[in-house]
Each structure stands twice: as C-alpha cells, then as structure tokens.
Amino acid sequence: MNKTIPVITVDGPSGVGKGTTASLLSNHLGWHLLDSGAIYRALALKVLNTDADISDIDTLVKLAKKLQLSFKSVIGEPTLVYLDGECVNHDLRKESCGNIASIVAVIPQVRAALLQRQKDFRQAPGLVADGRDMGTVVFQDAQIKFYLTASAQERAKRRYKQLKNKGVSANIRALEKEIGARDCRDSNRKVSPLVPADDAIIIDTSDLSIDEVFHYCINIIDKAGLKACLDR
C-alpha cells in the first residue's frame, strides 16, 4: 500500500447519504471507489455460494483474503458491486446475505483479513472510501475525512420513501426505532465503534440535498489543495 496515494473517507451511519456522496466524489475526481459495507455482504455471499461453514473461522479467513471484489460508480445509480467478475447488487440485498454478514463481521480474525483487503483498494490516482470506520481504523492517514450524520427521524423518512417506492409496506415509527437501536449498537460495540475521527469534518445532512452535500465536500477538497491530483 502506497501511503502517498491520496484518500478521502466518507463515514457515517445508514441513511445519511454517504454512499451516494462517495460515488459522486469518485466520479468527479476520477478516483477508485471502496464501499466497505458491501465487502462484508460480499463475503457473506461467497459463504452462501460455497456452502462454507460459518463456524469455521479458518475457512472464512481464507475466503476473505481471496475475495475478488470491485466497484463501479455510476452517476444517479447505486454503486455497482462485482464479485468474481459478476454484478451482485441484487444478491447482496437479500436477507440471508445480510444475516450472515452480521455474523461474520464481528469475528476478529475475519475483520483483520478484510482490513488488509480494504487497504489494498488504495491505488493511484486516489481512493474515495465509504463506510463506518474508514477514517478511524482503515485509513487513519486519509487527507480528508468526512463524517455524515442526520437525525433518526430524517433517516427514517428517507428509508420509508425508499421502501414505498419499491412497493414495500413500512411503518415510519418502527423504522425510526430500528435506526436508533442500530446506532446504539454500532456506537457502543467494542470493535471499530461508529464514531467520527478526531479530525473528521462532520456534515449534518438532515436538511441538505445530496447535491448540496456533494458541492460542500468538493469545496473542502479544493481548499485542501487536492485539485492538482484530479487531472486525468
């Protein structure tokens, strides 16, 4: 890993727009993109596809180290995730995949293996890394660290709208309760808790559009002097 290659991290809880923001920044800068949350789901999908035993830590670690994963940023669309050369966005959203991901994500040996796998995405001309511990654990030396946040109420509204657009029924109060509970778990877990890095730039997106968040970040990137690195 070449630490001279610039990195911008975009961390925060779910529903704050960090994935879309990271994708837009990656497109604008012409840099590589890392969706760290998808890595754990991709490993879970690999476990399902190979019928691996989730209690076999050695096998899980081997799968994590050999995970063939890439991401493609498409303006106006969710980040495309490729596992073994195939787009797996649909499979990653399945409940079975999410359940296994939540199990393997707390295994220290697996997290250690995937930590190096994430660091391997640091390639020229630069990397935009989206996740929950990119700035605090994976890329502590990142040139710029953004931490996006929003109220639980606003995030519940966004999730409710997403589900309704997909024809899925939902209860906004239940969603808000689930979001609050998840935030509590993520912020208080012993391994890589969800907290802003000490040098992170915190952006409350509750009352901001994605376009406003994007331009706010670009202004900071320009002021930081990274503009010279953007030439393609």
Q: What is the pLDDT of residues 39-77, one digit of tens each?
A: 999 999 999 999 999 999 999 999 999 999 988 877 767
Residues 133-146: pLDDT tens digits?
999 999 999 999 99
Which residues sit opposite 34 in a β-bridge? 129
Alpha helices in 3-147 (DSSP H): 18-29, 36-50, 57-65, 89-92, 95-104, 108-119
Within the chain, strands assigned E span: 7-11, 32-35, 69-72, 80-83, 86-87, 127-131, 144-149, 201-204
Q: What is the pTM of this model?
A: 0.84
The tokens for 26 are 């990656």
Res 227: pLDDT:
55
Cβ neighbours around 125 below 10 Å, total: 14
Q: Which of 120-124, 178-182, 197-201 bottoms out in mean pLDDT, i.e. has the lowest?
A: 178-182
User: Does the domain formed by 7-151+194-229 have CATH 3.40.50.300?
Assistant: yes
Q: Tell me the Cα Rg of the chain.
A: 17
